[in-house]
Amino acid sequence: MTTALQTERSRTISWSDPKATARAGMQLSGLAYLEAIRAGDLAPPPAVACLDVLLGDVEEGRVSMRLLPAEHHYNTLGSVHGGVIATLLDSVMGCAVHSTLPPGQAYTTLEIKVNYVRAVTDATGEVTAEGRLVHGGRRSAVAEATLTDAAGRLYATASTTCLVLEPAAGRQER
């Protein structure tokens, strides 16, 4: 049912072949892989491209990403969907872990905990997620993240445990 209050909007989303990027990335250390994405030498993952997330600072054990909230991020209540924020925080924490891994090694999220402090809307302006490695072990890693605005106001915090996967030579191809 269409009402006079509804107005249609649309977006076009483009991305590069994620498998080609992943194959190229497995030849690099996690830090070099992230630096190549930031420099534009490798394409960003489709998930962050779809959400308009921009990779910010990259260093070993610390990564930041930026998001300019917009209507296409909204839930039915008129604020950025919690899943968008969780995805951003998961991405930045995972990348903080990845930045410490050697070539051929990967990770996957085992669990994530997000604490939402206040709502994010397009009026919030650009927000920055910063992920930091807390512990990097041989088989698991722990990271944490914060989401803040330009004034430093806190919008969310998160923590994760990641499984560090064996080197690519010991894994089956997908």
> Domain boundaries in the chain?
18-170
Asked whether 141 and 135 are in contact (CB, 8 A), the reply is: yes
- Which DSSP state fits 4? T
What does the pLDDT read at residue 3?
59
What does the pLDDT read at residue 7?
85
What does the pLDDT read at residue 152?
98
Topology of the domain comprising 18-170: Thiol Ester Dehydrase; Chain A (3.10.129)
Token reading at 78: 């008129």
Count of alpha carbons within 13 angstroms of residue 123, beta-carbon side: 4
Question: What are the mean pLDDT values of the chain's consecutive 10-residue runs (174 residues total)?
Answer: 72 91 92 97 92 96 98 95 98 98 96 98 98 97 99 99 82 48
Q: How many CB atoms lie within 10 A of CB 151?
A: 7
Give 141's contacts (C-beta < 8 A, 6+ positions apart). 97, 100, 107, 133, 135, 161, 162, 164
What does the pLDDT read at residue 174?
42
CA proximity to 49, closest of 59, 62, 40: 40
Cα–Cα distance, 150 to 11 (Å, whole number): 26
What does the pLDDT read at residue 48?
86
Helix, strand or coil, per DSSP, at residue 136:
strand
What does the pLDDT read at residue 89?
99
What does the pLDDT read at residue 49?
86
What does the pLDDT read at residue 116?
98
